Amino acid sequence: MNLHRPRQTVRAAGPLAVAAALALAGCGAGATTPDSATPGEGTIVVGITADPTQTLPWTVTSKQAIQVLSQVYSTLLDTGENAEPVAGLAELPTVSEDGLTYTFTLTDGVTFTDGSALDSKDVKHTFDLILDPDSKATSASYFGSVESVEAPDPQTVVVTLEQPDASFPSGLTGVNTAIVPADVDPSTLEKTPVGSGPYAWEKRTPNQSITLSRNDSYFKGKPGAAELEFRVIPDEQAMVSALRTGSIDVTVFDNPITARTAATGDVESTPVDSLSYHVLQLRAASPVLEDVNSRLAIQCAISRQEIIDSAALGAGAVTGPITSPEYRSDPAAQPCPEQDFAKAKEYLAKAGTPDGFTLKLMTSQGLYSTAVDEAQAIQAQLAEVGIEVEVQSLDSSAYVDRWLAGDFDAAIALNGGSADPNTMYARYFTSGGSFNKVAGYSSDTLDTLFAEGVATTDAAERATVYQQISAELVDNAAWVWLFTPKLFLVADSAVQDLEPRTDASLTGLWKASIG
């Protein structure tokens, strides 16, 4: 599953805002019954299904590694309620008139867990590492417009861009841009991470667990538990058993059924929103989907709600292209907001294929639990208007290979979202984007709009631009956007002050304590 959505998981690392929190405010944060035990002591055990092997922040892609490293490292910026960047290790930057110079002032007195001070040379060191091709940083794409990083004095960092890039600050909130100490060699960090996060690395037993201990000098306050253990329990059913018997305290499920079975007795499940989105990717570049009317016919024949109800068991919300909270697309603003077979037939006739056509649809069982069910639901719906769907269910490696190569007509995908709409889609829908071959659609209008959006710093102006982009995408049925899923933060009631964050990010876990 991680194979398919590293971006989303990368985003999950950032202290993303609690879009869900508004809706869930009444549900509290999982913990309601304070026990008599002294808060602040004890160990919180977090269950994870795979061993997080990646330990260098800038290379991190797996969900589990992000969960662990976000406890050990801090980022230059964090995110607020609406996923917008807010102060982290540094205050929000001052930006020059031309939008090219970002000046960051670091919080005073922050130290790494080895006792050394965190200052501007560490930030410069980290960013230079990310920019160096040899360090194989997954975060390098956030730094695409960076020209230089300077550290004029210990508290000040100046980043100069080659061209204005309004999405740059949001990139600094992910754990793959977290600050590492300049005087510790990466090969040492790989074995023993040293950060300035709420917990310090204690020990790791491969395939079994990672233990962290409280960082008493954490710059945001005193973390809630004396120890944090990430324990590997590979099987979801076993995870449920471990939760129910109290062996583990917190975990995240993406499968609504598993979450429901787990939530009994002292175990509570809190659904949280996700920025990622389920989508039917169409490649306009392939002959069968070349005609916009063929693509619109598909959009009209699909009932998104029915897919949520059947494939995802109701755990999701219909979505348009942009899921970033501040720029969210109106899901109803598209040529066919609801299923409309008559209109689908009209489009088919306009495309010159009144009796439908045959579409090859690629999916994979190995990526996430509902992928094949979604493909089958779409197959059944499109059959109603004569579009015959051949579902190709591939192994996850084969799927990723063909996906990256753009070697498909249509694909079921769960793509990662972002707080910044440019980060979300410029790589797919600009003609020079790294994933444009995968997206299979671009136009001069989109190129112009994306360039405008990233060069504009005014929030209201930006929002207008991305609304236009969103409309352009659905009017041309570049893809058919289906729904955003729910994730489930599941915890024992002894855990207090556990914050349900978007994408079930554990960046707020440091506040939680166990009674």
Question: In the complex, which residues of this chain contact another protein (CB under 8 A)?
Answer: 2-7, 10, 45, 50-51, 53-55, 59, 61, 133-134, 136-138, 140-141, 187, 190-191, 205-209, 229, 231-235, 237-238, 240-248, 395, 397-398, 400-404, 427, 434-435, 438
Minimum CB separation from another protein for residue 346, in Å? 35
Question: Is the Cβ of residue 11 or residue 125 nearer to another protein in the bound state?
Answer: 11
Question: Is the Cβ of residue 54 or residue 496 nearer to another protein in the bound state?
Answer: 54
Pairing assessment for the beta strands 101-105 and 156-161 based on DSSP bridges: antiparallel
Minimum CB separation from another protein for residue 210, in Å? 11
Q: Where are the alpha helices (DSSP H) in 362-420?
A: 371-383, 396-405
Question: Is the Cβ of residue 46 or residue 419 nearer to another protein in the bound state?
Answer: 46
Report how far Cα 365 is from the mean position of its chain's Cα atoms. 20
Single out the residue of 104, 174, 186 nearest to residue 142, CA to CA.
Answer: 174
Question: Is the Cβ of residue 4 or residue 501 nearer to another protein in the bound state?
Answer: 4
Question: Is the Cβ of residue 114 or residue 190 nearer to another protein in the bound state?
Answer: 190
Region of 235 (left: φ > 0; alpha: ψ -120 to 50; beta: rest) is beta
Structure tokens at 497: 């002050």
Question: Is the Cβ of residue 47 or residue 224 nearer to another protein in the bound state?
Answer: 47
Question: Is the Cβ of residue 108 or residue 395 nearer to another protein in the bound state?
Answer: 395
Question: What is the distance between the alpha carbons of residues 61 and 70, in angstroms, rounded to a whole number?
Answer: 12
Task: Show Cβ contacts of residue 389 under 8 Å, excluding neighbours closer than 6 positions.
Answer: 358, 359, 360, 361, 375, 378, 379, 382, 383
Partners of 200 in the beta sheet?
213
- Tokens 């060069």 found at: 455
Question: What is the distance between the alpha carbons of residues 484 and 194, in angstroms, rounded to a whole number?
Answer: 35
Question: Is the Cβ of residue 26 or residue 133 nearer to another protein in the bound state?
Answer: 133
Question: What is the distance between the alpha carbons of residues 76 and 69, in angstroms, rounded to a whole number?
Answer: 15
Minimum CB separation from another protein for residue 416, in Å? 9
Question: What is the distance between the alpha carbons of residues 427 and 423, in angstroms, rounded to a whole number?
Answer: 7
Minimum CB separation from another protein for residue 21, in Å? 28
Does an H or E element contain 364, and which? strand 358-364
Minimum CB separation from another protein for residue 403, in Å? 7
Question: What is the distance between the alpha carbons of residues 485 and 482, in angstroms, rounded to a whole number?
Answer: 10
Question: What is the distance between the alpha carbons of residues 372 and 351, in angstroms, rounded to a whole number?
Answer: 28
Minimum CB separation from another protein for residue 152, in Å? 29
Minimum CB separation from another protein for residue 215, in Å? 22
Question: Is the Cβ of residue 239 or residue 498 nearer to another protein in the bound state?
Answer: 239
Question: What is the distance between the alpha carbons of residues 171 and 58, in angstroms, rounded to a whole number?
Answer: 12
> Is there a contact between 193 and 184 (Cβ–Cβ < 8 Å)?
no
CB atoms within 10 A of CB 304: 23
Minimum CB separation from another protein for residue 487, in Å? 18
Report how far Cα 2 is from the mean position of its chain's Cα atoms. 11
Structure tokens at 236: 């979801």
Minimum CB separation from another protein for residue 327, in Å? 22
Question: Is the Cβ of residue 32 or residue 207 nearer to another protein in the bound state?
Answer: 207
Report how far Cα 456 is from the mean position of its chain's Cα atoms. 24
Question: Is the Cβ of residue 9 or residue 120 nearer to another protein in the bound state?
Answer: 9
Minimum CB separation from another protein for residue 352, in Å? 34
Minimum CB separation from another protein for residue 141, in Å? 5
**E-state strands within 106-153:** 146-153
- Terminal-to-terminal C-alpha distance of the chain: 34
Q: Where are the alpha helices (DSSP H) in 218-283?
A: 236-244, 256-262
Minimum CB separation from another protein for residue 456, in Å? 24
- Tokens 């999916």 found at: 363
Question: Is the Cβ of residue 96 or residue 135 nearer to another protein in the bound state?
Answer: 135
Question: What is the distance between the alpha carbons of residues 163 and 158, in angstroms, rounded to a whole number?
Answer: 15
